[in-house]
Amino acid sequence: MTTKRYVYLLNACTDYEGHHTVAAFLDKSDAESLATTCRAMDSLRPDCPTAQDTADVWEKFYKKSNRWAKKHPAGGRYDEYAVIRVELKGGVL
């Protein structure tokens, strides 16, 4: 009898666009650790200006936001990060 093998996917989810798979791991704790890192990065996202702010303020925000997104492990902010267990079919590990 073959033992089932699993991988753990970290999915970055939005309420309006579904999800994006960020990474796959053999160990669930590694996936959960990256999810925690993503949530921590979300808290560092620059605050969005208001409609009353000047174009200069918005330009600075866009630059900061782009720098922040490049550093984010998921590539930007998402509404939730989910670790999903998936059975590995075929392949060699």
Helix (H, G, I), strand (E, B) or coil at 21: strand
Distance CA(23)–CA(9), nearest Å, equals: 6
Q: Return the pLDDT at 92.
A: 64
Sign of the dihedral through C-alpha 67, 49, 43, 85: negative
pTM above 0.85, yes or no: no
- Banded model confidence at residue 91, pLDDT cuts 50, 70, 90: low
Closest of 12, 9, 5 to residue 28, by C-alpha: 9
- E strands in 1-93: 6-14, 18-25, 80-87
Q: Tell me: the pLDDT tens digits for 15-27? A: 888 888 999 999 9
